[in-house]
Structure 1
Amino acid sequence: MSDSTTQSELSQVLDGIRPMQSQIQNLTLEVKVNQTETREKFNTIDEKFDKV
């Protein structure tokens, strides 16, 4: 026998998930920024090695 889920219960679950979604988006952006910064540092190092 399956339990029914009420609209109110679903709303509570969604209300709990929404802040997590925002946090995940912020973390994803942070990772992308860090990847870009790391790539730029490696490119700078590569340029210095090319000059040597």
Structure 2
Amino acid sequence: MANSDPDNPALARELQAHLRWRNTNNRHPDVPAAQRRERHQRWERPRPRTA
């Protein structure tokens, strides 16, 4: 971000542009959930087998 001034019009335009982009390029809610599950499974320790 260009400046930390909360009343900066350029900063407000940049933020609004980002929010417009994010709203038009949103993903289905299941996609991030599936990515989280996949990440969790990748780093999960193998469970010890009990006899």
Pick the TM interval, shorter chain.
Answer: 0.3 to 0.5
Q: Which has the higher helix share?
A: 1
**TM-score normalized by the length of structure 1:** 0.36
Q: Please, what TM-score do these two structures have when normalized by structure 2?
A: 0.36
- Bigger relative contact order, structure 1 or 2, given CA contacts below 8 A and separation 6+? 2
